[in-house]
């Protein structure tokens, strides 16, 4: 059974799901898929196909058991007819066709200009902070440099997706330099991130901030639950995820034999791990040259600022959606005529995204786990955890 899930960052089709999404063969009879939405009950999904005598036409009628709140507020008739839980009435090709052609052009010179600009800003900020060495300057430096580390990560992310240029070698070299400089294993994370896009919205196979099943959630001790759902601890999770992944999953982004990778990818993983180790050794050496305190101020604190940016953005991409539009979302107005009611207008932000803080806090209080049963599942709330957080 083919199904679609559209993410915040990228619109991707999910044609089939299986335990190892990149290896093995697809079982044509497989139909049970765990999709994630953000309501409170769940249902079932069936497809009835009717072929014409000629065999050239096939009509599909979808029967979807969709989650619904216990109390449904009165809404307009068109809103009642709109069911975001059912397969969307458009194809990926229609969305791609709606995007202007110039958006698909990859210009390596333009891409490299962004790298040159951001690297210059990073070194310039470090030089100014070291020159003034003033406690009025350091907090401003940490905020700015943490954001610039995040910018380097995004450029490396584009290298991993192949959108940086059409040259795989250039993408790999630039991606390694950028990601290693901020202690990210380029190939290890690139591969797991690809798995995320291939399985976005799938409860078991998704890789980035996937929900915990009720069974796994119940195995967590009280301290782990509190840390996972209490700010700011979830915003510091990324380095630990690189080493040990999420609860219920095994492996590491650094180990070539991890179940994240197939045998043909092991050399790439080793290369990235060596680059990461080289950068870590360089940082240790600089601690002996300029002192550990100065390194903490110049690199350590900005690094954790970058980690918080990364965790904040990726967490909010996977939580806190409107109940009516849980996963089918648009990113550009160019696709609005195609997406119709599946399009969500981006929220306007001031100079600082303070409006996201409320979304983050609300999600931490409500989005705890999903049911072990059902094809279409929704986040549920642990009342014990919610009551304990309120009492604090």
Consecutive 10-residue runs of the chain (392 residues): their mean pLDDT?
A: 36 38 40 44 44 47 43 47 68 85 91 98 97 95 97 96 96 98 96 86 76 81 80 85 83 91 94 98 97 97 95 78 42 64 66 69 68 64 64 50
Q: How far is Cα 259 from Cα 266, in angstroms, rounded to an integer? A: 11
Residue 79 lies in a domain: yes
Domains in the chain: how many in total? Answer: 2
126 and 75, same structural domain?
no
112 is a domain residue:
yes
Predicted pLDDT at 343: 66
Which pLDDT does position 210 carry in this prediction? 74
Contacts for 368 with CB less than 8 Å, ≥ 6 apart? 212, 217, 229, 379, 380, 381, 382, 385
206 shares its domain with 329: no
Which pLDDT score, from 0 to 100, does residue 267 have? Answer: 96
* pLDDT recorded at residue 84: 59
**Do residues 312 and 169 both lie within one domain?**
yes
pLDDT of 376: 62
Among the listed residues 74, 142, 155, the one whose alpha carbon sits nearest the alpha carbon of residue 111: 155
Name the domain boundary from 296, 317, 338.
317
Same domain, 42 and 159: no
| pLDDT value, residue 38 | 44
Return the pLDDT at 143: 95
Same domain, 301 and 249: yes
- Are residue 272 and residue 145 in the same domain, yes or no? yes
Contact 38, 379 (CB under 8 A): yes
C-alpha–C-alpha distance, residues 346 and 363, integer Å: 19
Is residue 365 domain-resident?
no
Residues spanned by the domain of 162: 106-317
49 domain residue, yes or no:
yes
Identify the domain boundary among 297, 317, 337.
317
Q: What is the pLDDT of residue 123?
A: 98
Q: Domain check: are 95 and 110 in the same one?
A: no
Q: Please indicate, yes or no, whether residues 269 and 170 belong to a single structural domain of this protein.
A: yes
Same domain, 72 and 189: no
Shared domain for 79 and 150, answered yes or no, is no
Do residues 180 and 165 both lie within one domain? yes
| Domain annotation covers residue 381 | no
Residue 215 lies in a domain: yes
**28 and 368 in contact (C-beta within 8 Å)?**
no
Question: Which two structure tokens, joined as six digits, stand for 149?
Answer: 């580390």
* pTM over cut 0.85: no
As a whole number of angstroms, the longest Cα–Cα distance in the chain is 81
Same domain, 155 and 286: yes
Is residue 374 a part of any domain in this protein? no
Q: What local confidence, expressed as pLDDT, does residue 283 receive?
A: 98
What pLDDT shows up at residue 245?
Answer: 80
Q: Is residue 353 part of a domain?
A: no
Q: Following CA atoms 99, 101, 102, 108 in sequence, which dihedral angle do they give, to the nearest 10 degrees?
A: 110
């Amino acid at each position: 059974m083919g199904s679609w899930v559209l993410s915040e960052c990228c619109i991707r089709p999910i044609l089939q799901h299986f335990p190892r999404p990149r290896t093995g063969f697809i079982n044509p009879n497989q139909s049970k898929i765990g999709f994630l939405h953000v309501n409170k009950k769940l249902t079932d999904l069936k497809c009835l196909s009717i072929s014409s005598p000629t065999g050239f036409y096939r009509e599909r009628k979808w029967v979807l058991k969709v989650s619904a709140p216990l109390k449904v507020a009165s809404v307009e008739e068109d809103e009642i007819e709109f069911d975001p839980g059912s397969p969307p009435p458009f194809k990926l090709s229609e969305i791609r066709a709606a995007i202007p052609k110039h958006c698909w052009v990859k210009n390596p010179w333009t891409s490299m200009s962004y790298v040159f600009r951001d690297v210059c800003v990073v070194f310039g900020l470090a030089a100014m902070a070291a020159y003034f060495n003033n406690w009025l300057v350091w907090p401003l430096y940490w905020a700015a440099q943490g954001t610039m580390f995040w910018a380097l990560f995004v450029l490396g992310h584009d290298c991993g997706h192949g959108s940086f240029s059409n040259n795989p070698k250039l993408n790999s070299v630039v991606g390694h330099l950028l990601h290693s400089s901020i202690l990210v294993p380029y190939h290890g994370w690139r591969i797991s991130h690809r798995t995320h896009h291939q399985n976005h919205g799938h409860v078991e196979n998704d890789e980035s901030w996937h929900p915990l099943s009720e069974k796994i959630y119940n195995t967590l001790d009280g301290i782990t639950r509190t840390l996972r759902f209490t700010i700011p601890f979830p915003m510091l999770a990324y380095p630990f995820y690189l080493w040990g992944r999420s609860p219920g999953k095994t492996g590491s982004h650094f180990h070539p034999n991890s179940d994240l990778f197939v045998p043909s990818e092991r050399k790439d993983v080793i290369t990235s791990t060596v680059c990461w180790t080289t950068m870590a050794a360089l940082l240790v050496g600089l601690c002996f040259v300029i002192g550990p305190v100065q390194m903490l101020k110049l690199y350590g604190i900005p690094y954790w600022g970058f980690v918080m940016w990364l965790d904040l953005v990726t967490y909010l991409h996977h939580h806190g959606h409107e109940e009516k539009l849980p996963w089918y979302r648009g990113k550009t107005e160019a696709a609005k005529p195609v997406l119709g009611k599946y399009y969500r207008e981006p929220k306007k932000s001031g100079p600082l995204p303070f409006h996201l803080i409320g979304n983050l806090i609300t999600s931490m209080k409500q989005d705890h786990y999903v049911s072990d049963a059902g094809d279409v599942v929704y986040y549920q709330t642990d009342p014990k955890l919610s009551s304990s957080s309120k009492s604090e």
